[in-house]
Structure 1
Amino acid sequence: MTPSAVLETALYVTDLVAAEAFYADVLDLSRISAVPGRHAFFRCGQGVLLLFNAEATRNPPPPDAKLPVPPHGTAGQGHLCFSATADEIGRWKSRLESLNIAIEADFEWPNGGRSIYFRDPSGNSIEFAEPRIWGL
């Protein structure tokens, strides 16, 4: 058996309020749920983006927890790539620049497909790329 798709992916953030605003207001993702100080979850196409306050997820759940999710988290900057067409990448670049969000890189991959990279408020590396960079 092989997994058919990634259902959710997580980024760990240092300022949950700023991250939540960035993903809702700048990237226009729809918020599914949030727990202040712990997490915010967003719909992204057929998947879900989980934003966690890294400090809050390192602790094990209490013995009587309704949802006994094990501790998890990471330190440092993560990476997430959103799928986009060439036209969408151009529009995203214009939108980000209009909001004074620096584009760190904008290039064509050797085998075809364009990517742009920028940072979220916690320093995570965010990318928009054409699926063809992976032959999709």
Structure 2
Amino acid sequence: MSRLPDAPPPGAILEAAVYVSDLDAAEAFYGELLGLPRLMRVPGRHVFYRVGATILLVFDPEGTTVPTSDPAIPVPPHGARGEGHVCFAATDAEITAIRARLAAAGVEAEADFRWPNGARSLYVRDPSGNSVEFAERALWG
């Protein structure tokens, strides 16, 4: 293999995506229950949320397989099937408050534990079955 040109590695994740079967249920979970600020919604395709300096893309997998009709924004078709995973950073106190809010809304915790390094993680499922984690930043050092 020939030598590749030098390039710096990516410094951050700008956006992450989950794929859902019901955008309305996802909006109730991520927007209303978790309180994420909605940036935009395209019916039948997606709803996007701001999460600090990043964006959570919530897609209907059927809608993302349709090529764009706008030549100025040539996003290629993409998508995934099945349950995905997203993890939100939170402090221990925030995780406790989030767990109470989710429980009051009837969302059961799948797991709530401390990793060997002491960081706490709370796992729940969104309405489409995606694994949603809330974890202390110390999880990754």
TM normalised by structure 1 equals: 0.95
* Identity score, percent: 55
Find the residue that maps to 1:122 and give its secondary structure: coil
Structure 2: 5+ residue stretches without partners:
1-7
TM superposition shift of 1:112? 1.5
CA distance in 2, matches of 1:65, 1:126: 35
Deviations 1:27-59 (A, max 9, x none): 000010111111111111011111111011012
Partner residue, 2:3: none
Residue 81 of structure 1 corresponds to 87
TM-score normalized by structure 2?
Answer: 0.91
State how far apart, in whole Å, the 2-side matches of 1:53 and 1:66 are.
Answer: 22
SS of the residue 2:18 aligns to: strand
Task: State whether structure 2 residue 71 is matched by structure 1 residue 65.
Answer: yes
1:106 is aligned to 2:112: yes
Q: Structure 2 counterpart of 1:126, which letter?
A: V
Q: How many residues are treated as equivalent by the alignment?
A: 134
Letter in 2 for 1:117: Y
Distance in 2 between the 1:14 and 1:38 partners? 10
Q: Which residue of 2 aligns with 1:39?
A: 46
1:92 match: 98
Report what 1:15 is aligned to: 22
Unpaired stretches in structure 1, ≥5 consecutive residues: none
Instruction: Give 4+ residue runs of structure 1 displaced > 4 Å after superposition.
Output: none
